Amino acid sequence: MTEMVYGAAPRQAKDPILPRWWRTIDKWSVSCILLLFAIGILLGLAASPPLAQRNGLEPFYYVERQVMFGVVAFIAMFATTMMSPVMVRRLAVLGFIGAFVAIALLPALGTDFGKGAVRWYSLGFASFQPSEFMKPFYVVMVAWLMAASQEIQGPPGKSMSLILTLVLVGFLAVQPDFGQSALILFAWGVMYFLAGAPYILIVGAAAVVVASGFAFYQNSEHFARRIDGFLNPQVDPNTQLGFATNAIREGGFFGVGVGEGQVKWSLPDAHTDFIIAVAAEEYGLILVLLIIALYATVVVRSFLRLINERDPFIRLAGTGLAAMFGVQALINMGVAVRLLPAKGMTLPFVSYGGSSLIATGIAAGMLIAFTRYRPQGRIEDFLRARGH
């Protein structure tokens, strides 16, 4: 009766999901990621036909596969960006358990594809590298533990994260995969520092890493060979580093021209680990600087958004993901210009590889989900309110 006289209370229309998602995501970061993938396809058109020819395949076989992997990666990325932080955390916990089991079973069920490191599962039609998927899940899992330790009567999350990290690094070292181990340790260090770790502990952890590196150098032929090659002042022109160094030198500022590069005929990993050498030779320093600017934009914009985040879990997880994304790109390019020893690490969204591309898509989706604007008020508003 009341409604008949006074009318029903106006019902608030719910904001549609897609418009709300579009308003809250960082469009600059998404655009940079899409552009990086487009550059990867462009470079793949130049770098992969020689490999396809050597393997008796169609000229653009690997490019077509990369496009297929890219579709899956971006579906996973955009689906993840729409998740709430709680849903991302649940996904990470389940993914971490699955990836950890897969890594633990590698010595028994994995294969090395003749590369000397057992890192993959052969599926017949494709291969699967569990350590690539472990990275984003690990970061979110550790961020959750560290954030929980900051709560009143919370668990000893920092200590638990350290134990978890050491166990995981131990399994990765068995493969051996020292590049991914270093990346995991770096991400843990960044998040641990952000969570308020004492300096003496960080110095102690760095000392342990250095001591472990020395021990691996003494006992691992695979590790020692890469370090010796890096420290040797003379670069063998017939090695991958030699070919990459020469290609970068030949490219100069503007490059030798599209399709005119020669390094792709010599480097077996020109479409994966050394894709930046192809970019430098054919397109010159201009394209390399553009690629660096795209990675820097994603990382810096993510940090700028996270600096105002009030939730410690989101702040830690987002920072870890952004730092890992940027450092992986830095390591890949640093190896190509001989600033770092060879590590066999892909260039995110640019290098060929299904596991790397799909896992990086999930990681980028998590990062964008954590950096979305939320109706929570910024941290400076929260601090100002507490001051009154």
pLDDT tens-place string over residues 127-136: 888 999 999 9
What is the rounded distance in angstroms from the CA atom of residue 51 to the CA atom of residue 351? 14
Q: Which of 312, 292, 289, 280 is nearest to 376 (CA)?
A: 312
Give pLDDT, residue 236: 56
Give pLDDT, residue 30: 96
Assigned token pair, 13 = 């229309």
Give pLDDT, residue 227: 67
Domain residue extents for the chain: 26-372
Residues lower than pLDDT 70 in the chain: 1-15, 114, 116, 213, 216-239, 375-388
Q: Which of 93, 135, 88, 142 is nearest to 369 (CA)?
A: 88
Give pLDDT, residue 9: 46
Residues 6+ apart with CB under 8 A from 377: 310
pLDDT tens-place string over residues 299-346: 999 999 999 888 999 999 999 999 999 999 999 898 888 777 777 788
Give pLDDT, residue 226: 66
Residues 6+ apart with CB under 8 A from 217: 223, 224, 227
Assigned token pair, 69 = 């992997």
Give pLDDT, residue 317: 96
Give pLDDT, residue 266: 75
DSSP string over 167-221: HHHHHHHHTT-HHHHHHHHHHHHHHHHHTT--HHHHHHHHHHHHHHHHHHHHH-H
